[in-house]
Amino acid sequence: MAYKIKTKKEYQKLKQKYEAHLKHPYWEITKRNWINDKEAKKYGVPKGTTHEETSSIEVYEFKNKKNKGKYTAYMSSDRKKLGTWTGEKLADITYLGNEYSTGVGTRQNFRAKGIDGRNWSGTFFVSSGDYVNMKVVK
């Protein structure tokens, strides 16, 4: 079951935990992007958020329009919704254009209605995975 943030205070606490982990000097010194529990304890790296907590931060920020009108998300396999890496819904697809080829791969334009109440449009990078770049329709 997905983790849901219920209050602004809960969001701030999770965001602080997330950022404390990412901003620790260990990452810059070692040039690594992972750490085991033994090394984390040795170097004092605070425990980070779980995938579910990180996804809930994304959903909260998306819902509360903290993304400045541009966003990268993931297309569901049935191409009916956009979501976070763990699959939490961010938007429903309202229009899906025809696939077209470019010099670097296959693309597909779309329109979506976000859980933030805004309309979004963007490009689905069909031949490059399941991610999309999108922006608010003005």
Position 68 pLDDT exceeds 70: yes
Kindly state the average pLDDT of the residues 24-33: 85
State residue 129's pLDDT score.
85
pLDDT above 70 (res 48)? yes
**Helix/strand/coil percent split, the chain, to 5:** 30, 35, 35
Which residue among 43, 63, 83 closes a domain? 63
The pTM for the full model equals 0.84
Domain count for the chain: 2
Instruction: Identify the domain boundary among 24, 47, 63.
Output: 63
93 domain residue, yes or no: yes
Range of the domain at 74: 70-136
On whether both 58 and 89 belong to a single domain, the answer is: no
- Residue 1: the pLDDT is 56
Nearest Cα residue to 130 out of 78, 85, 75: 75
